[in-house]
Amino acid sequence: MSVRPIITAPDPRLKAVSEPVKTVDDEIRRLIDDMMDSMYAADGIGLAAIQIGVPKRILVMDIAQKDGANEPRVFINPQIVWASEETATFEEGCLSVPEIWDEVDRPARIKAEYLDRDGNKKLLEADGLLATCLQHEMDHLNGVLFIDHLSKLKRSMAIKKLTKAKKLKEAG
Ligand code: NI
């Protein structure tokens, strides 16, 4: 298990559409372990494989760690099979979009199908932070960031800020 560096925007890799996992094997489980380590090391509550540069449809999440307990979750090839018309607004942030937070509207409740780390098919009904986080992470699999849900003006301001921060980091 190891912590891998997290890619930050703007970076063309974050726009990639990730490929479905064909077989859930030990190699995939090693990748999942690295994703967990990388997420916890960065104090994140969710991470998609593409955020460490691997274009596979895998997510890890732990929305409980803020309360001191760990509740790691893994989603392989997740798909939303139902979404409520009712929406909910959360202030979102992203390990790949450092120092930026903004409110995003998404369906308040969803049902999602996915494979667990043993390759078993699962169905999850989610609401609240879990539903939002899952939708945010699933967006990553399609090359979408939460700032893509903001107004054009807010998005271009965010990209400007990210580009500037990246240049400063490279120079420093
Ligand atoms: Ni994110």
What pLDDT, on a 0 to 100 scale, did the predictor assign at position 66? 67
With tokens 């540069």, the residue in question is 53
Residue 22 CA to ligand 1 center (angstroms) comes to 24
What pLDDT, on a 0 to 100 scale, did the predictor assign at position 68? 75
Residue 21 placed within a domain: yes
- Looking at the structure of the chain, the number of domains it has is 1
For 97, the enclosing helix (H) or strand (E) is strand 97-107
Residue 98 CA to ligand 1 center (angstroms) comes to 10
Residue 58 CA to ligand 1 center (angstroms) comes to 13
Which CATH number do you get for residue 161? 3.90.45.10
Residue 37 placed within a domain: yes
Residue 137 placed within a domain: yes
**Residue 30 structural domain:** 12-171
Residue 4 placed within a domain: no
With tokens 């990388």, the residue in question is 38
Q: Residue 104 is which amino acid?
A: V
What pLDDT, on a 0 to 100 scale, did the predictor assign at position 169? 85
Low-confidence ranges of the chain (pLDDT < 70): 1, 66
Contacts of 72 (CB under 8 A, 6+ apart): 36, 60, 61, 62
Q: Does the pTM exceed 0.85?
A: yes
Active site residues: 137
